[in-house]
Amino acid sequence: MVFAGLEHMHKYCFIVTLSYLILCQITRVYVFDYGMYSADFTGPMMVITQKITSLAFEIHDGLTKRDAQLTPTQKYLAIRRMPSLLEYLSYNCNFMGILAGPTCSYNDYKAFIEGTGYQPRHQENANGKENGKYKQSEPSPKNDVISKLCTCAVSLAIYLSLCKLLPVEHAVDDDFVSSTPFHLQVIYLYLAMLALRPKYYFVWTLADAINNAAGFGFNGYNKDGSPRWDLISNLRILDIEFATSFKSFLDNWNIQTALWLKRVCYERCAINPTAATFLLSAMWHGVYPGYYLTFLTGIAMTMAARAVRHNIRPYFLVSDSYKNVYDVVTWASTQIAISYTVAPFVLLAVGPSLKFYRSWYFCLHLLCLLTVLVLPVKSRRRQAKEQQDGPQKDGLQDNQTDHNSTDNNCNQKDKAT
């Protein structure tokens, strides 16, 4: 970061840190213990990789680009001065997020350290009576910390109670597959994934509570004047469990990692950013084949879900009853699609993963392929470009109309003369 030029520094940092992380993942899987799910050194390495690459891209944006070249988010995150060694080490290795994260931006962390993280958010979100009420004292995270610790306790209790009763591995058992009707296999897979998710709820909520207890994570005020402590929250449990689209589920799951993928890959990749983002996510998670099967399936699922939403959803928005029916159907479809997609992520190895997909006859893969081929859908960048071009075309038409009217007036004057 110091010796490389600012123009290409972010690329070198990205390649070096990701390569080192992959080397650590290979060592952990093939040298120590294949299939090990205990805490190990690669967990902190994954968090530090996110922080180093984020910092490099934010420095590149702040020191090499003009504001006009940046999106509003990139402009807010841009770093205008090279951090000192102490600032760099503090950001990457602070005790609050060294083990489980979550990742945060450098500017947010610096504002927290310098004690300036409350005032700007206070001025933007609070007004009137609320402003006077909270202006003289810093907001307390006590209530949010207690609430998150209670969520941790409930999540841990649910996981310990159900993880042995509903193992995902049972879904590929020969006796289970041969003797269980297909619709019951679908229900079992959903329940097994439902019992598995509280493990992640526990870890990420506890990490968020630790940061909040230290005073980090303030994100302005609610309308009633109560402080919000969700700046670096990593999930929204209710939005996950009641998600009605594949995108909605992903947007509320591992939020900070999703933002990292968006900022360093999706917004900057010129060729097929969706596929590139899923591939980067697989490489960041590790070297188990199941990870790659999951994220390759996720590409197809995302494209198919986008096509369905753009082509079919408008027909169900004509009335509340139609929309309720659509929400119920898409909720069930989303939960099944997520469970189907994530199964290899849990099974890890190629054999069990392909065995699972064969037991389902690759039905959702084929359905996604058929949906993408039949239903047309525009990419998000193309839609954004058309939206930007629309006002420009309108402006050109207005100018052309004004020009034509001016010419007509001139012609009339000439004829009168």
Rg over alpha carbons for the chain, rounded to the nearest Å, is 26
Residues in the chain: 417
Tell me if residue 311 is catalytic. no
Yes or no: say if 169 and 122 are a contact pair by the CB < 8 Å rule.
no
Which is the catalytic residue, given 285, 310, 408, 409? Answer: 285
Structure tokens at 206: 């506890």
Q: Which residues pair with 235 in a beta bridge?
A: 253
Structure tokens at 127: 């007004």
Residue ranges of alpha helices (H) inside 65-173 are 72-77, 85-93, 106-114, 119-125, 128-134, 142-162
- Is the CA virtual torsion 134, 136, 138, 144 positive or negative? negative
Tell me if residue 285 is catalytic. yes
267 phi, psi to nearest 5 deg: -75, -15
Structure tokens at 153: 């306790």
**CA 129 from centroid of its chain's CA atoms:** 35
Structure tokens at 9: 């520094």
Residue 376 and residue 373: Cα distance in Å, rounded? 7
Yes or no: say if 280 and 347 are a contact pair by the CB < 8 Å rule.
no
Structure tokens at 151: 């969520």
Classified as helix, coil or strand, 233 is: coil
- Taking CA atoms, 43 is separated from 46, 252, 285, 383, in Å, by 5, 21, 9, 38
Which is the catalytic residue, given 92, 212, 234, 254? Answer: 254
Residue 402 and residue 400: Cα distance in Å, rounded? 5
- Annotated catalytic sites, by residue? 254, 285
